[in-house]
Amino acid sequence: MTILHAESVSHSFSQKQVLSEIELKVDKGRTYTIIGPNGSGKSTLLHMIARQLKPDQGGVYLNGKDLYRLSPKKAAREIALLAQDNGTADLTVSQLVAYGRTPHKPMFGRIDEEDEMLIDEVMRRTKLGHLKDRNVAQLSGGERQRVWFALALAQQPIILFLDEPTTYLDIFHQLDVLEIVSELRANREVTVVMVLHDLNHAAAYSDEVVVLQNGRIYRQGPPEVVMDQQMFKDVFHVGADIYKNEQSNVVRFVIKPL
């Protein structure tokens, strides 16, 4: 079932066309990764469908309703965005994660027992239980990213947008964050749309990849179908040795010059 539809969206910055006539449909419970070379419009598209950047033309619809006509509070109950670097906060981990419940509370409403149970569960799943009383500013970059991830999950969105969530992390913490994505994907409890630079990560953690080239969708579909040698040549101008696990259908790539 399609829950998000970007219909003929286009956008320009300083009279330079960044996205042109994008048609994108996102189905419930699936994980999508937007890939493409620098300047192809990946983050612009993500921010547009995450209600951060209104398109110049076209529309974005969530369950058939214009996403940009929803109230901020209503939108925050439906979607959440995790950026590359959300910075620090002078709060404890549990205090910051609790802010994820704000869209679900009336004005001046307090966190209740049900909220506390959800917050504890989210922190358990994101491996933050032992850090709940630590100040966020004192955490490592990887730990802080998990805290912001937990805040987003505490919102209980139907769609979670991730804008290059592993960019500033070492390999260990990259996989740490992506394993949370993997769990969400396995349980189909929330739809995920993310931008990733690492093409092997995109293939391993996605149901579908959306390949952008010069502000247009070049291809969209399962990684093992879309990410072939022709795609690498046309879009990234490189060659690739492609290895496929026949049992899982997961593909791996070794990039090489043409």
What are the tens digits of pLDDT across the range 2-41? 999 999 999 999 889 999 999 999 999 999 999 999 999 9
Distance CA 186, CA 151 (A): 20
Under a CB-based contact definition with an 8 Å cutoff, are residues 25 and 42 in contact?
no
Give CA–CA dist 189/60, Å, rounded: 22
Here the tokens at position 243 are 């290895």
CB-based contacts of 201: which residues, under 8 Å, 6+ apart?
Answer: 166, 174, 178
| pLDDT the model gives residue 245 | 87
Strands 31-35 and 65-66: unpaired
Task: State the average pLDDT over residues 209-226.
Answer: 97
State the SS3 of 28-40: CCCEEEEECCCCC
Query: What is the average per-residue pLDDT within 207-217?
Result: 97
Secondary structure E strands in the chain:
2-13, 16-27, 31-35, 57-62, 65-66, 79-82, 159-163, 191-195, 208-213, 216-221, 239-244, 251-256
Give the model's pLDDT for residue 108: 74
Residue 154 pLDDT level (bands cut at 50, 70, 90): very high
Residues of 109-125 as b/e, b for ≥16 C-beta within 10 angstroms? eebeeebeebbeebbeb
Burial 34-51 (b: 16+ CB within 10 A, else e): bbbeeebbbbbbbbbbbb
Q: What is the pTM of this model?
A: 0.95
Each residue of 67-107: pLDDT tens digit? 999 999 999 999 999 987 777 778 999 999 999 999 999 88
Query: If DSSP states are collapsed to H, E and C, what string results for 124-185?
Result: HHCCCHHHCCCEHHHCCHHHHHHHHHHHHHHCCCCEEEEECCCCCCCHHHHHHHHHHHHHHH
**Across-strand partners of 35?**
211
| CA 181 to each of CA 14, 104, 114: distance values in angstroms, whole numbers, following the listed order | 35, 23, 24
* pLDDT number for residue 155: 95
Cα separation, 253 vs 16, in Å, equals: 33
Q: Is residue 145 within 8 Å of 165, Cβ to Cβ? A: yes
